[in-house]
Amino acid sequence: MSLVATVEGMAEQDADGPLAFEPLARSETLTERVYGTLREKIAAGQLPPGQRLSERRLAVLLGVSPTPVHDAMRRLEQEGLVYRSGPRTLRVAEHSERSLRELLYVRALLRGAEARFAAGRITERGLAAMREALNELESATAESAPEDVLAAGRRFDAEITAAADNERLQTMIESTTVIGPARRLQSVTAMATVARDIGEKHLQAHRDILAALTAGDADEAERQVVQHMLSAIDLQLAQLTEPERTEGTAR
C-alpha cells in the first residue's frame, strides 16, 4: 500500500493537490488516533464543510479496520462536527457564525474551569514550568516569531491542563476545538504584523493567569482565563471566515 492516498472528491479545496493521508500504525488507541486525524483535517479546513465522508473509504486510506473509523465518526457526529445528510451519508458540518461564536464561548468557560481546578493543585514544579514558558513567550513575541509564540503558549496551557487533572473536562475542551494548528499559526502571524499591541495584551493575560495560579486564587485564575479567551473570539472568527493559506503558497 502506498504511504499517501487521496479521497476521491476531497481534492478540489486547495491548489496543493490531493489531500494526503498517512496510514496509521495499529495501536490500542486506534479510534483516538483516527478521531484526532479527522478532527485536525476538519479544523484545518482540509476536509471542508459539506465534504462527504465515507467510513469504508477512510478505513482503506488510513489503513485500519472499519470499527475504529466507525467509532471515531460517531464521536465526531456527537460533537456536531459531522452530520448525517442521508441514511448512509455523512458530511462535514457547516458552522454558522452564530454557532462558532457560541462554541468559542463555551470553550472559554471550560478552559476557565480548568484553570480553577488547577489553582488548588498546581505544584511548584508546574509553576516553574509555566514561568519558563512565559519567558519564552516574551522572547518569541519580542522577536515576532509566531511559531515560537504558539509553542510557548502550548507549553503554558499544558501545565494548566496537567494540574487540573480532569479527563472529562479535557475531553469536553477537545470537543470544542474548531481551529487547527495551521490556522492558529496564520492567526498569530497576522496578529504580529497587523496589530502589534495585541501581542502585549496576550503577554499580560498570561502574566495575570500565572499570578493567580501562583497565589492559589481559583476565582481569579478562572476569571482571567475566561476573559483572555473571550477577548480573542472576534479575531478568531475573522480568521475562520478567511480561507486557510498553506505555507509558501502565494496568492
Selected from 79, 136, 159, 220, the binder of its own copies by CB under 8 A is 79
Selected from 55, 105, 233, 235, the binder of its own copies by CB under 8 A is 105
> Which of the ranges 44-52, 99-107, 136-144, 187-195 carries the binding residues for its own copies, by CB under 8 A?
99-107
The interface mask with its own copies, positions 194-233, x = CB under 8 A, is ----------------------------------------
Q: Which region, left, alpha or beta, applies to residue 158 given φ > 0 means left and ψ of -120 to 50 means alpha?
A: alpha
The residue ranges of DSSP E strands in 17-147, in sequence order, are 52-53, 82-86, 89-92
Selected from 52, 57, 74, 201, the binder of its own copies by CB under 8 A is 74
Largest CA distance in the chain: 55
Q: Hey, which residues does 53 pair with through a beta bridge?
A: 90
Q: How far is the CB of 156 from its own copies (least distance, A)?
A: 22
Selected from 41, 75, 202, 206, the binder of its own copies by CB under 8 A is 75
Q: State the Cα–Cα distance between residues 197 and 68, nearest whole angstrom.
A: 45
> At residue 64, what are phi and psi to the nearest 5 degrees?
-125, 170
> Which of the ranges 42-50, 74-82, 129-137, 200-208 carries the binding residues for its own copies, by CB under 8 A?
74-82
Q: State the Cα–Cα distance between residues 166 and 244, nearest whole angstrom.
A: 32
Q: Binding residues for its own copies, how many (CB under 8 A)?
A: 25
Selected from 13, 144, 161, 166, the binder of its own copies by CB under 8 A is 166
3-class DSSP state for residue 84? Answer: strand
Q: How far is the CB of 146 from its own copies (least distance, A)?
A: 30
Q: Which residues 36-65 are close enough to bind its own copies by CB under 8 A?
A: none
Q: State the Cα–Cα distance between residues 231 and 198, nearest whole angstrom.
A: 10
| Unique residue bearing C-alpha cell 499544558 | 158
| Unique residue bearing C-alpha cell 499580560 | 204
> Which of the ranges 98-106, 141-149, 182-190, 191-199 carries the binding residues for its own copies, by CB under 8 A?
98-106
Please identify, using beta-carbon distances, which residue of 97 and 242 lies nearer to its own copies. Answer: 97
| Total residue length of the chain | 251
Is 175 near its own copies (CB under 8 A)?
yes
Q: How far is the CB of 240 from its own copies (least distance, A)?
A: 16
Strands 52-53 and 89-92: antiparallel
Q: Which three cell numbers stand for residue 181?
A: 494548528
3-class DSSP state for residue 21? Answer: strand
Selected from 99, 123, 139, 249, the binder of its own copies by CB under 8 A is 99
Q: State the Cα–Cα distance between residues 212 and 220, nearest whole angstrom.
A: 6
* Contacts with its own copies, residue ranges (CB under 8 A): 31, 71, 74-75, 78-80, 99, 102-103, 105-106, 109-110, 112-113, 116-117, 166-169, 171-172, 175
